[in-house]
Amino acid sequence: MQSKLLVPLIDQLLVEQQVRLYQCNAVAVSAGPGSYTGLRVGLSTAKGICFGSNLPLIAVNTLLVMAQNCIDLFHTSPSLPCNALIIPLMDARRMEVYCARYSIDGECISPTEAKIIDTNSFREELEQSPVFFTGDGVDKCRESLSHPNAHFVPLSPSAEGMRKIAHQAYEEKKFENLAYFEPFYFKEFMVHKK
């Protein structure tokens, strides 16, 4: 359903903002991890716009966007310890999540991984510093991750977090190859018989 709405919504947004594609500098898209179909549809649409309008493509890690949203939420808080961690959790079915670790400055401390959540998950990090868990995987993990240093911030990725990251990538001219760039699926697509 979203695939049918995506292009009309983009068109509506441009009309509302009184912006034409030739006035844009680049197109930013979520690179994943995420839903196989969602990533394919989003990237195909972004590539089509870039190709048709001769715009560069910027790909942004979904977990970094989630971390950036959390950083923005706490940016005005002087009481946040400098060693605090932000761990975005993306629901990957059952008790598994996709996650990565970020500093409060947005620096990636560990690469994206798939993790089965249990009572010992992130124990080392929680013993060392406050950890802010964010994203749509928070609710499934809240009970398992009971620790005084565990804080839960149920935020979803937003365009505002992506805008900041994409703007920095644009300034640094970190563009993707339109012909060869593929989303970061993290896992192989699997087809199951009914």
Which sequence spans correspond to the domains of the chain? 2-61+157-171, 63-153
| pLDDT of res. 185 | 80
| CATH number of the structural domain 2-61+157-171 | 3.30.420.40
| pLDDT of res. 143 | 85
Paired tokens of 166: 């994409």
At which residue do the structure tokens 């839960």 appear?
152
Paired tokens of 122: 């992130």
Domains 2-61+157-171 and 63-153 are alike in CATH topology: yes
Q: In the 3-class helix/strand/coil scheme, how is the chain assigned residue by residue? A: CHHHHHHHHHHHHHHHCCCCHHHCCCEEEEEECCCHHHHHHHHHHHHHHHHHHCCCEEEEEHHHHHHHHHHHHHCCCCCCCCCCEEEEEEECCCCEEEEEEEECCCCEEEEEEEEECCCCCCHHHHHHCCEEEECCCHHHHCCCCCCCCEEEECCCCCHHHHHHHHHHHHHCCCCECCCCCCCCCCCCCCCCCC
- Is residue 10 packed enough to be buried (19+ CB in 10 Å), middle (13-18) or exposed (0-12)? middle
| pLDDT of res. 154 | 86
Classify strands 96-103 and 85-91 as parallel, antiparallel or unpaired.
antiparallel
Q: Which of 71, 6, 40, 14 is nearest to 181 (CA)?
A: 40
| pLDDT of res. 74 | 81
Could you read off the pLDDT tens digit of each residue along the chain, which spans 194 residues?
Answer: 567 899 999 999 999 999 999 999 999 999 999 888 889 999 999 999 999 999 999 999 999 999 999 988 887 666 678 889 999 999 988 889 999 999 988 899 999 999 999 999 999 999 999 999 999 899 888 889 989 999 999 887 788 889 999 999 999 999 999 999 999 886 655 555 66
| pLDDT of res. 1 | 54
Quickly name the fold that domain 63-153 has.
Nucleotidyltransferase; domain 5 (3.30.420)
Give the chain's largest Cα–Cα span.
53
| pLDDT of res. 94 | 84
| pLDDT of res. 125 | 95
Which letter, b or e, does each residue of 96-131 get, where b requires 16 or more Cβ atoms within 10 Å of its Cβ? bbbbbbbebebeeeeebeebebeeebbeebbeeebb
Neighbouring-strand partners of residue 150: 131
